[in-house]
Amino acid sequence: MSRLQIHQFPTRSDNYGVLVHDASSGATAAIDAPDAEELLAALHEKGWALSHILTTHHHHDHTAGNTIVKRMTGCTIVGPAKEAGSIPGIDVKVKDGETVEIGSAKARVIETPGHTKGHVSYYFPDDDLVFVGDTLFSVGCGKLLEGDAKTMWSSLKKLAALPPVTKLYCGHEYTNNNCRFALTVEPENDTLRARAAEVAALAEEGEPALPTTIAQELATNPFLRPSSPAIQKRLDMEGRELWEVFGEIRRRKDRF
């Protein structure tokens, strides 16, 4: 049973950086390294020494800080084996089901391809935390840049099966826009309407709508709800395979 401290901070134009700190050992992991300077500043502010970067996927806005941060801190860079060739400074190449230790905390690697071919998420079962990069967003999901709808749907199903209390941290804050789209797909969802109002108020205050939880996403996120009769009816896809319904929601979001 570990008790991790979390620090989430906005970085680049619309990314989030997250630090995970195990006070008992002093170990600290950054989820991705979008920007070296801003990551080092966050570490300085907290007084934490970086031991690891946990890379979710190879995109530049998640790895741009790797080389400088590794040089400045001597941290170990962990990342998906399937994208190792395009992750600067990678030391430890991980695959589905493997465990990464951050001091006394344990993260399980879950392969969640779709946004990129080798994208991974990091799940800390003892802490009810999951870091999903650009696979799932609050009320949204990542674009299918290197995978098809069937692949992404099977990744989302793995995340949806985590305990509902699990706190979910994402790579970006797109929640307000995601809610506007979601309401076009499932306007009769009262929980979604309440979430949209909450998120709009938070956006007005400049406050993050993240982290979210698996429970909240199951109730509001159209990309996790292709089995919803209301959604299937609206898309005229009653009785179709769930990955096909998911794919149609993704296509509509791309055009939104």
Distance in angstroms (rounded) separating the CA atoms of residues 222 and 87: 31
φ/ψ (deg, to 5) at 41? -65, -40
| Cβ nearer to Fe ion, comparing 22 with 61 | 61
| Cβ nearer to Fe ion, comparing 61 with 217 | 61
Amino acid at 195: R
CB contact burial 10-23 (16+ within 10 A = b; e otherwise): ebbeebbbbbbbbe
Is position 119 annotated as part of the catalytic site?
no
- Judge whether 38 and 19 are in contact, CB under 8 Å: no
Is position 115 annotated as part of the catalytic site?
yes
- Judge whether 156 and 223 are in contact, CB under 8 Å: yes
* Residue 208, preceding peptide bond in cis (omega within 30° of 0): no
The reply on whether position 83 binds Fe ion by CB under 5 A is no
Q: x-or-dash pattern for Zn ion, window 44-73, by CB under 5 A?
A: ---------------x--------------
The reply on whether position 61 binds Fe ion by CB under 5 A is yes
The reply on whether position 17 binds Fe ion by CB under 5 A is no
From the list 57, 58, 119, 127, the catalytic residue is 57
Is position 52 annotated as part of the catalytic site?
no
* Window contacting Fe ion (CB under 5 A); options: 94-102, 169-177, 201-209, 235-243: 169-177
**Token duo for residue 87:** 């992750």
From the list 22, 35, 127, 134, the catalytic residue is 134
Is position 60 annotated as part of the catalytic site?
no
Using only C-alpha atoms, the chain has a radius of gyration, in whole angstroms, of 18
Is position 61 annotated as part of the catalytic site?
yes
Question: Which one of Zn ion, Fe ion, none interacts with residue 83, CB within 5 to 8 A by kind?
Answer: none
- Judge whether 150 and 245 are in contact, CB under 8 Å: no
For residue 142, the minimal CB distance to Zn ion (Å) is 6
Which residues are marked as active site? 57, 59, 61-62, 115, 134, 172
- Which stretches of the chain bind Zn ion, using CB under 5 A? 59, 134
